[in-house]
Amino acid sequence: MIRITDGVVQTNGLKLHVAEAGQGPLVLLLHGWPESSYSWRHQLPALAAAGYHAVAPDIRGYGQSDKPNAVEAYRMSALLDDVTGLMDAFGERSAVLVGHDWGAAMAWTFAALRPERARAVVGLSVPHLGRAPMPPTQLFKTIFDGQWFYVLYFQEPGVAEAELEADVPKTLRAIFTGDALDPMSAVNRTKRLDDGLLTGIDVPESLPTWLTEGDFSHYCREIAASGFRGGLNRYRNMDRDWEELPALATAKVVQPALFIVGERDPGRSIAPIDQMTQLVPNLKEVCVVPGAGHWLQQECPAEVNAALLTFLQALSK
């Protein structure tokens, strides 16, 4: 049985907790919100068994990693420095980057702006969209035209934290099993702008089949210890990133790339895949997993692992 080990990497002025398994070419697994390295529990042993050194960090602000207080500490450029530091710590010049949700945005951006350090890239759930034509919060206000949208709700420091941390198990049930993050759901389309993420949400009593009680308890303990602030601060840097990274307007992801998305992922309604054609010229495949939602690598680990390994094995041919 392949063992997943825990460690700490000191880089970029921070201590980052990592879960790792296996030996071989480095594959970095970058999680999204509101998850942690634990979201890759099904991929780490599969990659290790196939001959890869699989490493999943807790991104700064999450899990057991350090959690800077300043909002600007979660700007994209700082996260990219963390990724570079992880590679350096493991003695690798480059790695394959696999990212889900915000981790996908990190992976795509890293590959575009630091191409010499990224061997290949796999994005889950969030496609590469380059640089928006205007600051993202302005764009969202234009798109949603007075409608409540969770990204805009997250912008004011302290507001979402107070709501989400009041009852962590309820919050996570709503996020993992309900319509809380679906901008097109009936409840979110009828919210007032001053409503919260959980306002009007019907929180299911039971967990989805892909999330055991043990898994859920693990996430609850992590969030109870870390809070939501670090992860929410990522959303509060979207306009700052737009100002600081103008090269994304023209930079392309030239490495071999794979995109995997759930058929029922609500993000598909606001993040069109077609835009990737020009931005990711070496996109090998778009894999749509039937029946899957947003929490892809946890919902359908067999399908995700198969797609990952097929892609990775092709890199060495």
The catalytic residues are: 101, 294
CA separation for the pair 290, 264 (Å, rounded) = 8
Three-state secondary structure call for residue 155: coil
CA separation for the pair 78, 110 (Å, rounded) = 11
- 14-21, strands of its sheet edge to edge: 5-11, 14-21, 53-57, 26-30, 95-100, 118-124, 257-262, 283-289
CA separation for the pair 119, 132 (Å, rounded) = 25
CA dihedral 285, 299, 295, 47 (to 10 degrees): -60
Phi, psi of 284 (to 5 degrees): -80, -35
| HSE-CB for 50 with a 13 A CA cutoff | 21
Phi, psi of 63 (to 5 degrees): 50, -130
- Which residues share a beta bridge with 289? 262
Angle formed by the axes of helices 102-113 and 76-89, to 10°? 80
Sequence-ordered strand ranges (E) for 12-169: 14-21, 26-30, 53-57, 95-100, 118-124
Rg (the chain; Cα; Å):
18
